[in-house]
Structure 1
């Protein structure tokens, strides 16, 4: 099942649709893996009932494509590849390793976003088109994307800011209603999650999960909150 449909299924089941990120490094917080095996984090996320897995392959976040390949081979959950995609060749690589979805950032692609969305869809990938402003939401709305993500943090400064779900609350009304809307980043607590899910369909969380003392207990609490 692809990522957008898994989000809808988790919602139907009464769980909070959480896309859990295996995040190796944060420019703001430093090393998040702390000597752990990414596949061990994957198993924790699977047991916690998340809707999907996200992994950043970008060098700026110390990710790599080989780990993405491992994750895709090791899980039945849909996997989202996050990176600063600028070429269609990277879309092809993403599809070839068995990922379910790819992140496309309007800040980077601009008016070419629609073209990249169609190319990814043609290769069997869900597309999460990321926005951070009303103008970027306009661009995303004019594509055939299956998902639109509101990044609460500013990717232009590698998410070193203290973004929060207030941006999701402000921008959601500018995102068309026939896509899966995802609140990305800046979600630190269950209260943040509840606020985000009042207008968005899913939440993508990485840093807070990776920094938790008891990751499984923490993630499960997010997935099951309000049930």
Structure 2
């Protein structure tokens, strides 16, 4: 599955490299970049990272004509600590411009895409994103991941390293990651189980910030994950499919 996603990014990478060679990579974003980590700590444990993704590989189109501006406002008003913004187009219906559109809500943004090249991190730094997702197993080795983490931190981006198994966690820590995102989805079957999060959280160390991603749909599950030690829970599909996303978010945060 990840190989398929990596392949889909090739045209974008070829374009970025051409731009780089010809001196057209934009500079670092000069506007406000609210702290992703502080926002989660302020509302955690169990802070909600509300995701905007018009589609997904497992479920297809989640919401027709989804307006990122409306979602950003709804998420900000209903207690999201941060917003995860899908920028991958082919499988998730996203676009990098959504980062600029959704930044108006004033909530820290996590850029979620298949990022494995330094130029992709540099492009993220030219946007209002506060954090960038790095998937451990999309990197060739520890040095590769370490390089991406370092490039992200230079302009003030928080590198969120996603893991699926023990080898990923070991690699993330060796590379210097301090924000760990546990993905509960099986990449082969696309099924989710919270047992993944329940097992991995036992290894959380002092000084680390942990995020539970995929498979959380109800307030009771948010409370369980928070009780186990997760600082934040990333929720996407159930919000995108809700009749009223703002109300669903308020329910998940416990405000309703």
Matched, 1:65 2:86: no
Per-residue CA shift, 1:134-156, capped at 9, x if unaligned?
111111122333411000113x4
Matched, 1:39 2:39: no
**Equivalent residue number for residue 192 of structure 2:** 163
Structure-to-structure mapping, 1:88-167, within 5 angstroms: 88-109=118-139, 110-111=141-142, 112-154=144-186, 156-157=187-188, 161-167=190-196
Matched, 1:191 2:220: yes
Q: Is the 8 A contact 2:194 2:215 kept in 1?
A: yes
Per-residue CA shift, 1:144-184, capped at 9, x if unaligned?
33411000113x45xx6221221011111234331110001
Aligned counterparts of 1:209 and 1:39: Cα–Cα separation in 2: 15
The two structures, once aligned, show a CA RMSD in angstroms of: 1.8
Q: Is the 8 A contact 2:219 2:253 kept in 1?
A: no
Matched, 1:22 2:48: no
| Structure 1: gaps of 5 or more residues | none
**Equivalent residue number for residue 4 of structure 1:** 37
Aligned counterparts of 1:76 and 1:133: Cα–Cα separation in 2: 34
Aligned counterparts of 2:64 and 2:124: Cα–Cα separation in 1: 27
TM-superposed deviation, 1:19? 0.4
| Structure 2: gaps of 5 or more residues | 1-33
Q: Find the structure with the greater CA-based Rg.
A: 2
Aligned counterparts of 1:224 and 1:190: Cα–Cα separation in 2: 7
Q: Is the 8 A contact 2:181 2:213 kept in 1?
A: yes
**Equivalent residue number for residue 22 of structure 2:** none
TM-superposed deviation, 1:123? 2.1
Aligned counterparts of 1:179 and 1:153: Cα–Cα separation in 2: 22
Q: Is the 8 A contact 1:180 1:201 kept in 2?
A: yes
Per-residue CA shift, 1:95-131, capped at 9, x if unaligned?
1111100000001014221221111111210011000
TM-superposed deviation, 1:92? 1.1
Aligned counterparts of 2:78 and 2:169: Cα–Cα separation in 1: 32
Count the aligned residue pairs.
219
TM-score between the two structures when normalised by the length of structure 1: 0.90
Aligned counterparts of 1:103 and 1:17: Cα–Cα separation in 2: 17
TM-score between the two structures when normalised by the length of structure 2: 0.80
